[in-house]
Amino acid sequence: MSNRAIDAKGLVKRYGSTIAVAGVDLAVNAGEVVGLLGPNGAGKTTTILMLLGLTEPSEGSVRILGKDPLRQPLEVKQEVGYLPDAVGFYETMTGRENLAYTARLAGIPQDLARERIGAALDKVRLSGVADRRVATYSRGMRQRLGLAELLMRNCRVAILDEPTSGLDPQSTQELLALIQSLSQHGMTILLASHMLNVVQSICHRVALFNKGRIGFIGTIEELADRIGGGAFVIDVEAEGVDLSTLSARTDGVKSVVPGRRGHWLVEANRDVRPELARLVVEGGGSLRNLDLRRAQLHQAYNRYFAEVGHDA
Amino acid sequence: MTRKGSPFKGAMTIAMKEAADHMTSARMHLIMLLVMLSATGAVYGAIGRITETTAEDPFLFLKLLTIAREPLPSFAALLGFLLPLVAIALGFDAVNGEYARRTMSRLLAQPIYRDAVLFGKFLGAMIVLAVALLTLWLLMTGLGILFLGLPPSAADVVRGLAYMAATLAYAGVWLALAIAFSTMIRSPATSALAALSVWLVLTVFWGMIAPLVAGAVAPIDPLDPMTMVTQYETQQAIARLSPQRLYGEVAAILLDPAARSISPLFFDQLQGAIVGAPLPTLQSLLVVWPQLSGMVAAMILLFTLAYVAFQRQEVRA
Ligand SMILES: Nc1ncnc2c1ncn2[C@@H]1O[C@H](COP(=O)(O)OP(=O)(O)OP(=O)(O)O)[C@@H](O)[C@H]1O
Ligand SMILES: [Mg+2]
């Protein structure tokens, strides 16, 4: 067996004359966290539904853990947890009852389910309100209840559609920590989101959806590199020199953007800190700081979509 | 395509949850209160008429269900009219309600087939209907014992139970209709209205519509007496498209052992028969067999319609 958790080839989905997904190939390795990005209507949710077998692809094939979600739906759904965007629960039932119901549907024995539900509710910090009706829950609490369901199900693959929408910053951080701990336990995670900092902080790779296709898939560094920026972003603070003109000629430097007074953001496809230091010193300036940063997803993202253009 | 695992895996879980939901919902409490009150009224009226006239009837407890005292209809007629409402209340938002609450995609992402959702919903509501009907019947029998001062005979009980089973099938038709609408119409309010419209047409107006249509389809030729028979038969056929009519015929035969036929009897059919002699229960069942199978067929047809629509449906709301 290969360690491919998700393997989709040539996925197409047509709704009448509209083409929601126009040919998507997606391969995700076991244990990976992959972010699905892209403007509204780009086809992320539709792709997710096809991966789960909840929507039949017009063309193409899907393998999840080596199984076909259309031919072996129960086996696939047993292994895959799904948190839909704007997840709903039965309002007149308590949070705990809602989880108990899905546990029964998933065929988890009652004692084991009770144990796992308790642990999952603890983990998402809902134990205190677990016996209140869901009608009284806030949006973030529902979102966390959805995550508790995934924890309780104990799946090998989790597919999350905009799990952080509507969460306050603290809950977002907690949710990220949770997702990260799932990943550390070996769970494969697919995450659609519009919050680029969220994606940047937990995803190993990103897939950029544009008009029903994946325009790019890879690490953020690869993305930055590919769209003409650089994988290496260096924050330079110096006095007495104009770095914009000086460093433009240095080999490997892709761009220099002046920031606040005395600050420059240099993008390069390799670590050019030694060269920059030499330039500043040789130019008669004084160097205050050289800070190597990861490429920023939001910059790369914006640049990518400025380049390919999109009409959402 | 081979499918592993039963398509019914999880159906029982869903049915039990649905049944519990219904039993605790204010909607159900209200409508059952309405049914209980009017049923009690109808049976109480029947008791009055029975004690006024004679008590020399071997099937007194069946009379409880069929005798009407103005202005109330009989218990059987009342059920024929009100039971569809109960079934519609149970089914009108079965499927679209899951979309409205945004629980559908989460539900279908569980390791179950779609079949289980629809079967579970249907089964859950049928369980509730069966429990409600049984309670109702026991209550009415209790009322009878109390006021008539004697227990029901064995024949009373057997026929009563057969009648209750037929009533459940009748309710099933309306439940399947409501679920079909809940599958095909996205808004619960609209699907409720659609089901209620069908109910109104088939229970209230059908009696007027059937002769009109029959008159147009099979006009009477004054020179040909057979055309009168043709028109009558056409009218009967059209009238029987309404489940309420079928149910009425079933109730009339099952609850009245002396009744031998649903349509007017021709003289030769009566030859050799002792008028007024009770028919064995099995014979009565045979007489209404076409009506019973008609109701079951309608139920299966409507359910299949809902099933096909649901299987092809996009999960996303
Ligand atoms: N049932 C449907 N019928 C017709 N078109 C649909 C249907 N469902 C989705 N679409 C179309 O498919 C396209 C892709 O939608 P999708 O929901 O996959 O986008 P998305 O990337 O998830 O967007 P968002 O970021 O807003 O969630 C959209 O143009 C949408 O209008
Ligand atoms: Mg989406």
The reply to whether A90 touches chain B by the CB within 8 Å rule is yes
Residues A130 and A187 in one domain: yes
All residues of chain A having their beta carbon less than 8 Å from the beta carbon of residue B109 are 52, 54, 77, 80-82, 84
Q: Is the CB of A144 under 6 A from ligand 1?
A: no
Residues A260 and A211 in one domain: no
- Residue of B258, B59, B212, B257 lying closest to B144 (CA atoms): B59
Q: Are strands A232-239 and A263-268 parallel, antiparallel or unpaired?
A: antiparallel
Tell me the residue range of the domain where A27 lies: 4-218
Any domain includes A312 = no
Nearest CB neighbour to A73, from listed B113, B315, B316? B113
Residues A74 and A204 in one domain: yes
Q: What pLDDT shows up at residue B274?
A: 56
Biggest CA–CA distance in chain B, Å, is 69
The reply to whether A45 touches chain B by the CB within 8 Å rule is yes
Q: What atom in ligand 1 is closest to the CA of residue A46?
A: 18
Residues A228 and A214 in one domain: no
Asked if residues B93 and B182 have their Cβ atoms less than 8 Å apart, the reply is yes
Which of A218, A241, A270 is at the close of a domain? Answer: A218
In one letter, which amino acid is B1? M
Residues A64 and A125 in one domain: yes
Residues A53 and A137 in one domain: yes
Residues A188 and A246 in one domain: no
Q: What atom in ligand 1 is closest to the CA of residue A85?
A: 27
Which of A188, A218, A248 is at the close of a domain? Answer: A218
B2, pLDDT greater than 50: no
Residues A181 and A81 in one domain: yes
Check: complex ipTM more than 0.90 = no
| For ligand 1, atom 27: residue with the closest CA | A40
Q: What is the pLDDT of residues A43-78, one digit of tens each?
A: 999 999 999 999 999 999 999 999 999 999 999 999
B1, pLDDT greater than 80: no
Any domain includes A97 = yes
**Mean pLDDT within B189-202:** 96
All residues of chain B having their beta carbon less than 8 Å from the beta carbon of residue A104 are 10, 13
Residues A161 and A294 in one domain: no
CATH code, A257: 3.30.70.100
Give the residue, A171 or A19, on which the prediction is more confident: A19
Element (H, E) at A257: strand A253-258
Q: Are A72 and B4 within 8 A, CB to CB?
A: yes
Can you give the three-state secondary structure of B162-220, one letter per residue?
Answer: HHHHHHHHHHHHHHHHHHHHHHHCCCHHHHHHHHHHHHHHHHHHHHHHHHHHHHHHCCC
- Residue B271 — very low, low, confident or very high, per pLDDT cuts 50/70/90? low
Q: What is the pLDDT of residues A236-285, one digit of tens each?
A: 888 888 877 766 677 878 778 888 888 888 888 788 888 888 888 888 88
**Mean pLDDT within A157-172:** 88
Q: Is the pTM of this model over 0.90?
A: no
Residues A172 and A104 in one domain: yes
Any domain includes A40 = yes
**Mean pLDDT within A159-186:** 87
Query: To the nearest whole percent, how much of chain A has pLDDT over 90?
Result: 53
Q: What pLDDT shows up at residue B4?
A: 53
Q: What is the pLDDT of residues B47-79, one digit of tens each?
A: 888 877 765 677 788 888 888 888 888 899 999
- Residue A312 — very low, low, confident or very high, per pLDDT cuts 50/70/90? very low
State how far Cα A224 lies from the chain centre.
16
Q: What is the pLDDT of residues A178-213, one digit of tens each?
A: 888 889 888 999 999 998 888 888 999 999 999 999
Residues A120 and A144 in one domain: yes
Of A17, A18, A211, the one to substitute when testing ligand 1's pocket (max ligand atoms within 8 A of C-beta) is A18
A26 vs A10: CA distance, rounded Å: 9
CATH code, A176: 3.40.50.300
The reply to whether A80 touches chain B by the CB within 8 Å rule is yes
B90, pLDDT greater than 50: yes
The token pair that represents A121 in the structure block? 């509710």
Nearest chain A alpha carbon to B24:
A92
The reply to whether A105 touches chain B by the CB within 8 Å rule is yes
Q: What pLDDT shows up at residue B106?
A: 94
Which of A218, A236, A266 is at the close of a domain? Answer: A218
Q: Is the CB of A163 under 6 A from ligand 1?
A: no
> How many angstroms separate the alpha carbon of residue A47 from the centre of ligand 1?
10
Q: How many domains does chain A have?
A: 2
Q: What is the pLDDT of residues B99-125, one digit of tens each?
A: 999 999 999 999 999 999 999 999 999
B94 vs B120: CA distance, rounded Å: 10
B188: left (phi > 0), else alpha (psi -120 to 50), else beta? Answer: alpha
DSSP-derived 3-state class of residue B253: helix
Residues A174 and A254 in one domain: no
* Spatial CB neighbours of A122, under 8 Å, sequence gap ≥ 6: none
